[in-house]
């Protein structure tokens, strides 16, 4: 059964371990308004640790994935509230993209149509990305007179070769799903009528994997790209060891002996192993 966020601008279904989350402002091409950004955080929060959710798919209702930031509600109206309004709107949008980048469950962007500007934030935040061949991707900021902010330039440079990123950011031309694959923006492009089946197939593969290992792996891929080889090697040793001891009950026992049993004080010594 489809459920709606508080303001109805995000819709979601959980079925067979997969949470299908939709931008749900089709009449506004799913542009990200402050309300949508708040609702998306609410939905991500509600789904993240649910036992019946193993993979989250982010897609869009209607002809768009998302037409980027809502130029009226996110820019014009928040700017009318001064710097306070702008910063608040930024915190809310960047906040859920960050939440999604480090989400507990594997995430897949299923790009059904338009994907512009600010949409590159959640696109990059998803671990994998599949799109319709006819979907259109664009850094349209230059077309209305700003630079690709909100992380969009960073996403282009992270995912695309330098020359492609520069061309994409400066020219304001759209690319289709196939070109987005060639340029590194997404994993695969398929005819729209095959998109959901392919994403379901990928999600099922992920559902069959160890969830602790998946979380450790997706975080590792993001982290090591920022590290030197030496630091990455060290990070990976520690991340592996942390994952191995994920079910370590020691801390709980330490708290139990202090709070419930009152048999020791952590400030004065160690608990009894």
Nearer to ligand ACO, 32 or 47 (CB): 32
3-class SS letters over the chain: CCEECCCCCEEEEEECCEEEEEECCHHHCCCECHHHHHHHHHHHHHHHCCCCCCEEEEEECCCEEECCECHHHHHHHHHCCHHHHHHHHHHHHHHHHHHHHCCCCCEEEEECCEEEHHHHHHHHHCCEEEEECCCEEECCHHHHCCCCCCCHHHHHHHHCCHHHHHHHHHHCCCEEHHHHHHCCCCCEEECHHHHHHHHHHHHHHHHCCCHHHHHHHHHHHHHHCCCCHHHHHHHHHHHHHHHHCCCCCHHHHHHHHHHCCCCCCCCCCCCCC
Nearer to ligand ACO, 46 or 166 (CB): 166
Report in angstroms how near the CB of residue 106 gets to ligand ACO at its nearest. Answer: 26
Report in angstroms how near the CB of residue 82 gets to ligand ACO at its nearest. Answer: 19
Nearer to ligand ACO, 69 or 89 (CB): 69
Nearer to ligand ACO, 19 or 185 (CB): 185
Nearer to ligand ACO, 11 or 152 (CB): 152
Report in angstroms how near the CB of residue 25 gets to ligand ACO at its nearest. Answer: 8
Residues that bind ligand ACO (CB under 6 A): 28-29, 31, 63-64, 67-72, 114, 116-118, 140-141, 150
Report in angstroms how near the CB of residue 196 gets to ligand ACO at its nearest. Answer: 21
Report in angstroms how near the CB of residue 17 gets to ligand ACO at its nearest. Answer: 32
């Amino acid at each position: 059964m489809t459920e709606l966020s508080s303001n109805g601008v995000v819709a979601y279904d959980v079925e067979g371990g997969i949470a299908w989350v939709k931008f749900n402002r089709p009449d506004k091409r799913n542009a990200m308004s402050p309300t949508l950004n708040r609702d998306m955080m609410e939905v991500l929060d509600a789904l993240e640790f649910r036992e019946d959710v193993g993979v989250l798919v982010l897609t869009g209702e209607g002809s768009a994935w998302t037409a980027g930031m809502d130029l009226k509600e996110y820019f014009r109206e928040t700017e009318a509230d001064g710097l306070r309004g702008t910063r608040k709107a930024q915190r809310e949008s960047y906040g859920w993209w960050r939440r999604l980048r480090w989400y507990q469950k594997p995430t897949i962007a299923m790009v059904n149509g338009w994907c512009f500007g600010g949409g590159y934030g959640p696109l990059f935040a998803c671990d994998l990305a599949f799109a319709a061949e006819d979907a259109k991707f664009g850094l349209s900021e230059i077309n209305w007179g700003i630079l690709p902010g909100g992380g969009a330039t960073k996403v282009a440079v992270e995912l695309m070769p330098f020359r492609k990123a520069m061309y994409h950011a400066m020219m304001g031309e759209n690319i289709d799903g196939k070109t987005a694959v060639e340029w590194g923006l997404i994993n695969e492009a398929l005819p729209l009528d095959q998109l959901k089946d392919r994403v379901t197939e990928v999600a099922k593969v992920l559902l069959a994997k160890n969830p602790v290992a998946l979380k450790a792996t997706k975080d590792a891929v993001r982290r090591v790209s920022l590290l030197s080889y030496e630091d990455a090697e060290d990070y990976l040793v520690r991340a592996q060891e942390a994952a191995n001891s994920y079910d370590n009950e020691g801390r709980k026992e330490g708290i139990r002996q202090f709070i419930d049993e009152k048999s020791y004080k952590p400030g004065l010594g160690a608990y009894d192993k």
